[in-house]
Amino acid sequence: MTSKQLLDWRIRLYYGLESRPIQRLVISVIIVNAVLLGLETVPSINQPYGHLLYQLDRLCLLIFVGEAVPGNCCHGATRIFP
């Protein structure tokens, strides 16, 4: 892969991740995750539904990582390690 092709790939990835639907998805996941974490602190909810809350929390984490790793790839190592 030439450097121009690599740059084009990164630019397309960047604009894809910065698109309005992806940004709305990430913001929605942040809000859902905040609610889940709040529910985990309530013993009467955490007792019967703790396992489900934990699994949903892991799903949120998977979505975060699924957005963050490609985002770091498109910005290159200079953004991670200045």
Q: Over 90: is that where the pLDDT of 37 sits?
A: yes
Average pLDDT, integer, range 19-29: 94
Is the pTM value of this prediction over 0.85? no
Number of neighbours of residue 20 by Cβ within 10 angstroms? 7
User: Average pLDDT, stretch 44-60?
Assistant: 96
What does the alpha-carbon distance between residue 81 and residue 70 come to, in Å, rounded to a whole number? Answer: 16
The two tokens of residue 44 are 């009467």
Host H or E run for residue 1: none
What's the pLDDT score for residue 3?
65
Q: What is the pLDDT of residue 5?
A: 66
pLDDT confidence tier of residue 13, bands split at 50, 70 and 90: confident
Q: What's the CA gap between 63 and 68, in Å, rounded?
A: 9
Structure tokens at 27: 């913001």
The confidence score (pLDDT) of residue 50 equals 94
